[in-house]
Chain A
Amino acid sequence: AQSVSQHNHHVILSEAASLELGCNYSYGGTVNLFWYVQYPGQHLQLLLKYFSGDPLVKGIKGFEAEFIKSKFSFNLRKPSVQWSDTAEYFCAVKAPSSASKIIFGSGTRLSIRP
């Protein structure tokens, strides 16, 4: 069965620090990968996605993620965080043949100190 692991439950950074949030998945076949962000009190918004091609994916608000197939990883990065990046971040995986079921990780809460 598919599963997604986000090992960092809560990350605290100062403004301008670099960010890397880990995401590992267990599915062995071809996958689609996503990062969603949930700002306080809001719904989930798509940050970026990987379907195929260049394993380095750029998303909105300066975020990027790298798909490393050999490590089953899809880590999220941002070179310099801002206070407005305070949010919860969810990694998700979908197998193209899975009848549209997306499996979410448990989320990483990011707190940015101004």
Chain B
Amino acid sequence: DAGITQSPRHKVTETGTPVTLRCHQTENHRYMYWYRQDPGHGLRLIHYSYGVKDTDKGEVSDGYSVSRSKTEDFLLTLESATSSQTSVYFCAIGNAQAQETQYFGPGTRLLVL
């Protein structure tokens, strides 16, 4: 497995509280991604990063922000968690070549009460 870790692996929080999820890689890949997985929707891209301090929005970015201050770390923040953000969050990394494959982390299960 690619060297990707996510923390925490499980979290329960209350509506309105801020939450930060961390993705850490040891592969020195340039691209990092945050997805959410929900039944019937597959994986949907929230945000991605193409380098330190370089990020862009995905298809479901509302209510989320990201930061990447180091190549190895990509943080996803829910500024004020809502119940609709209850989901499983996956981080992925890629090397941004034309024939790129993404590799996924173990996931974070988030429950917003």
Q: Which residues of A contact B (CB under 8 A)?
A: 4, 6, 9, 32, 34, 36, 42-46, 49, 51, 90, 94, 96, 99-102, 104-107
Contact = CB atoms under 8 A, between A and B. Distances in A.
B104 A45 contact: yes
- Chain B interface: which size bin? 20 to 34
A31 to B, nearest CB: 11
A4 B44 CA distance: 12
Name the prevailing secondary structure of the A interface residues.
loop
6 contacts: A6-B42, A43-B90, A51-B99, A96-B98, A101-B45, A104-B43
Contacts of B45: 101-102
A45 B90 CA distance: 12
Given A9-B40, A44-B104, 11 more contacts: A32-B99, A34-B101, A44-B43, A45-B104, A90-B42, A99-B56, A100-B33, A102-B45, A104-B43, A104-B44, A106-B41
